[in-house]
Amino acid sequence: MYKNVIIKPIITEKSSLISANNKYVFQVSTNVNKIEIRNAVERLFNVKVTGVNTLNVRGKKKRLGRFEGVTASWKKAVVTLKDGYKIENFEKLA
């Protein structure tokens, strides 16, 4: 059930940078709210969450010849953990 909330970790230069502040970035399902995300992270990784920030990433317009389309929109969540907790092997989850 929690696996439907959290889709995958986002590992980029920026996400590795803020992981120093105990913040982890995930792609989450578009129809979940912050409370559901907090619960999912706490249960899945056995940690305490102090904050969740979310944002919607709009799909990009893409064109293939005369056909125009958009890539899917998705939701990003930045989860802050309580001091002393961390997600082991975060990078290996991808």
Give the shortest CB-1-to-other proteins separation in angstroms: 27
Rounded distance between C-alpha atoms, residue 36 and residue 43, angstroms: 11
Judged by the rule CB under 8 A, the positions of this chain that interact with other proteins are 10-13, 15-16, 91-92
> Which residue number, 43 or 60, has a Cβ lying nearer to other proteins?
60
> 17 vs 70, which CB is nearer to other proteins?
17
State the nearest-atom distance from the C-beta of 75 to other proteins, in Å.
Answer: 18
Cβ contact 11:87 at 8 Å? no
- The arrangement of strands across the sheet holding 23-28 comes to 6-9, 23-28, 74-81, 49-57
- Least separation in angstroms between residue 31's CB and other proteins is 25
Task: Assess contact for 57 and 73: CB atoms under 8 A.
Answer: yes
| Closer of 15 and 36 to other proteins (Cβ) | 15
Q: Whose structure tokens read 């706490």?
A: 42
